[in-house]
């Protein structure tokens, strides 16, 4: 499955850099339909340009392999903690409905 493949490959590559990988949106809520994308949030300690590029290349590869659209958002640990401290709908929804992978 695309989600497991994404998590496994990312974990193999950046095990010590990953703070969290979370599934959110319709797949996490259980109202996923055939045309829905799969929303994933990746929080990295230090998301360098090389790491970000790898995540997006992996995403593109898995979209081609599985024919399912993965929508991946990447935050640094500091960014994610900052956004958790202010009331944004996006982060609030992730915290409320997200599932840690």
pLDDT at 23: 97
Instruction: Write out pLDDT tens, residues 17-64.
Output: 999 999 999 999 999 888 889 999 999 999 999 999 999 999 999 999
pLDDT at 32: 87
Instruction: Write out pLDDT tens, residues 76-85.
Output: 999 999 999 9
Separation between Cα atoms, residue 41 and residue 90, nearest integer Å: 11
pLDDT at 51: 95
Q: DSSP for the chain?
A: -HHHHHHHHHHHHHTTTEEEEEEESHHHHT---TT--EEEEEEESS--HHHHHHHHHHHHHHHHHH---EEEEEEEHHHHHHHHHS--HHHHHHHHH-EE-
Domains and CATH numbers, the chain: 2-100 (3.30.460.10)
Count of CB atoms situated within 10 Å of the CB of 53: 10
């Amino acid at each position: 499955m695309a989600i497991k493949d994404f998590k496994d490959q990312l974990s193999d590559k950046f095990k010590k850099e990953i703070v969290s990988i979370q599934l959110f949106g319709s797949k996490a809520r259980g109202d996923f339909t055939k045309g829905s994308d799969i929303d994933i949030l990746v929080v990295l300690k230090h998301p360098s340009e090389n790491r970000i590029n790898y995540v997006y290349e992996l995403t593109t590869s898995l979209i081609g392999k599985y024919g399912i659209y993965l929508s991946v958002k990447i935050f640094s640990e500091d960014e994610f903690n900052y956004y958790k401290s202010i009331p944004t709908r996006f982060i609030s929804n992730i915290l409320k409905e997200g599932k840690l992978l």
